A and B are shown apart, each in its own frame.
Chain A
């Protein structure tokens, strides 16, 4: 008689190997690193010298309360809305997820590993921008650090949720990049990516403030400036997370 079969899930070592592999995939996809790390730095450079000297509120300058929240949001949005779904769509399309599904690893392991790697990427992107702002342009740290970190985590989750919608509706890797870019520029444009929302028509400005990009900028801004966070923005980000989760649960396909 043969021994009974015991179902064993891959252990910690296996998780670490997978995360290491996903990291290599991301690093070797050099083009994918330019946008989330290069673009925010560029925007920071272009806007910081003027904004650094202009105190807006509570001893915080325009650089602290306008430029940095925007830059941080761009890092999170490009990674969550464009990069993460394009990896998932590629893995699905190429059959990698299918191949993994006949091993003891589940495709969900890949999703989680991708989230871990993209969080690392986000930390590096934000860290680089913050370091440059601090060292070169005399930026000031946030007045409410804990609230700032909380706001960033909530915003990042909302970006992933939006990314999961992209991954769920995109039939091919190319369309995932295209839909991701359109979604990014849509929420970005309405959220102040190309200049203040004041110049937009009222309805659009309001919509932009509620959409995840604008709401992320707002919650980071208020935490940085040490003013109370508006519940509306927290509600909007939470709603994005719930909606993204629902859409992904219903429409996302592993193969």
Chain B
């Protein structure tokens, strides 16, 4: 029997902007049902990498598959199984939460019911509020709901909880944990070490476009000989900075 393709399979990916190598020979494989963290300092190439996986950018080199599908050449198929929450996602500003959910739900053949999505991210009380009148955290939660509208098998969540207050953050984390229970694969771009510790099975640490460590959160801490993930992050990415300086 043919083995199941990896949820996300990236090999030797590279992307150049002008003279700068934004992504440099990145390879990673995310298994089905895994929550996979992508970490790194600002400008490390995290967003570019996941945008290539999402088919939003064309790689200069390398190979990308999502559930065995090419995100650019099999774009329409990938759109059915991949849910994406973009960093700074803007939506129709004058539409209400309920209108936006109805709109995005309508794009998929077998969507989650609108009411369920509203509940999931706790926006039922705001259903008649226009997008422009939502707080930053509420906009973020709506954006997550929309990424999950089509019951994706793989979800890319870019800066999931940036700008959320602690309570909202916990709510979103619980949502992601529920995705794990449903066997949805999650690729999580994040700065928050607490989030990584709580959610991620494995993480890739990027620096200057390259993967400098790929391990479990506990493995990263052990490898850096650090007390916690925060220190491990600083130690590992700091070393790389000194080398390149």
Chain A residues within 8 Å of B, Cβ to Cβ: 1-2, 5-10, 13-14, 17-18, 21, 24-25, 28-29, 94-96, 98-99, 101-105
Contacts and interface: CB of A to CB of B under 8 A. Distances in A.
B181 to A, nearest CB: 17
A9 B95 contact: no
A98 B55 CA distance: 11
Given A17-B106, A102-B82, A5 B93 contact: no
Interface string B76-118: 1111111010101111111100011011101111000000000
A1 B4 contact: yes
A17 B93 CA distance: 16
B67 interface: yes
Contacts of B108: 103-104
A88 to B, nearest CB: 13
List 4 tightest A-B contacts by C-beta distance, closest first.
A7-B76, A14-B106, A94-B90, A28-B94
B202 interface: no
Contacts of B93: 94
B13 interface: no
B94 A24 contact: yes
B107 A6 contact: no
Contact of B79 (A7, A29, A98): A7
Contact of B107 (A1, A14, A29): A14
Given A24-B99, A102-B54, 8 more contacts: A1-B4, A7-B77, A7-B79, A14-B106, A25-B92, A95-B88, A95-B89, A104-B108
A interface, by DSSP: helix, strand, loop or mixed?
A: loop
A118 to B, nearest CB: 16
Given A14-B107, A102-B54, A104-B108, A95 B90 contact: yes
A105 B89 contact: no
Contact of B104 (A24, A28, A103): A103
A104 B79 contact: yes
A99 B103 contact: no
A8 B82 contact: no
A177 to B, nearest CB: 16
Contact of A99 (B4, B69, B81, B91): B91
A98 B76 contact: no
B94 A99 contact: no
A6 B99 contact: no
Contacts of A94: 90, 93
A101 B4 CA distance: 27
Contacts of A105: 107
A99 B54 contact: no
Contacts of B2: 1
Nearest to B2: A1
Between B76, B94, B100, B107, the greatest number of chain A beta carbons within 10 A of the residue's beta carbon is seen for: B107
B70 to A, nearest CB: 12
B234 interface: no
Interface in B1-57: 1-2, 4, 54-56
Given A17-B103, A96-B90, A96-B92, A102 B77 contact: no
Contacts of A103: 79, 104, 107-108, 150
A18 B106 contact: yes
Contacts of A99: 86, 89-91, 146
A79 B201 CA distance: 53
A96 B76 CA distance: 18
B154 to A, nearest CB: 11
A6 B92 contact: no
Interface in B146-187: 146, 150, 153
A77 to B, nearest CB: 24
Contacts of B54: 102
A219 B146 CA distance: 47
B76 A104 contact: yes
Contacts of A5: 67, 69, 77-78, 80-81
Contacts of A14: 106-107
29 contacts: A1-B1, A1-B4, A2-B4, A5-B67, A5-B77, A7-B77, A7-B79, A7-B80, A9-B76, A14-B106, A17-B103, A18-B103, A21-B99, A21-B103, A24-B94, A24-B95, A29-B94, A94-B90, A95-B86, A99-B86, A99-B146, A101-B56, A102-B56, A102-B82, A103-B150, A104-B79, A104-B108, A104-B150, A105-B107
